[in-house]
Amino acid sequence: MGRSLKSAIKQTKPFKSLREELMLTLVRTAAEFEHQMAQDFKPFNLTTTQYNVLRILRGAGADGLCRNEVGERLVRQVPDVTRLLDRMEEAGLIARERGGADRRYVTTRLTAQGLTLVNKLDAEIETMHERQLGHLSEKQMRELIALLTQMGQSDRDD
């Protein structure tokens, strides 16, 4: 990263509009960050979405969450949360338990192994964020968050 989108994708013609350039730059930057994260998680046999689930469940604490609640809190939506949780359960990172009164309600919690892993990853993530965003000032990061939040609201305000 660090070079313009136009040079990164070897585009010789101008973009059709500034909006097009902005959208493509956002998509490209997000894809590059996600690729870097995926590479950083490989040694832990973890995907970025699985890491997100670990963080969500750590935040939920001992109460855990049902499948739907986990799915609603994911940063990136996935089509099949059940299969995602199945794989994580097989890996020993989470445990699921049916409710007493309502057997349809299944609570998902971190296992000790899952909690140890997500806690261990905290330092890795901080290093990753420093590498990706360390060149930005706190003011720039706050401004960017505000702009991105405003962008995200634009299609919902109609």
Contacts of 67 (CB under 8 A, 6+ apart): 81, 82, 85, 106, 108
| Dihedral (CA of 54, 73, 142, 20) sign | positive
Q: What is the pLDDT of residues 93-149, one digit of tens each?
A: 999 998 766 667 789 999 999 999 999 999 999 999 999 999 999 999 999 999 999
Q: Residue 106: its pLDDT value, please?
A: 87
- What ranges do the domains of the chain cover? 19-145
Rounded distance between C-alpha atoms, residue 57 and residue 85, angstroms: 11
Q: What is the pLDDT of residues 5-60, one digit of tens each?
A: 767 777 778 889 999 889 898 999 999 999 999 999 999 999 999 999 999 999 99
Q: What is the separation, in whole angstroms, between the first and last Cα of the chain? A: 34
State the number of CA atoms in the 13 A half-sphere of 43 facing the CB: 5
Query: The domain 19-145: what is its CATH number?
Result: 1.10.10.10
Tell me if 67 sits within 8 A of 85, measured CB to CB. yes
CA-to-CA distance for 141 and 138, rounded, in angstroms?
Answer: 5
In the chain, the amino acid numbered 35 is H
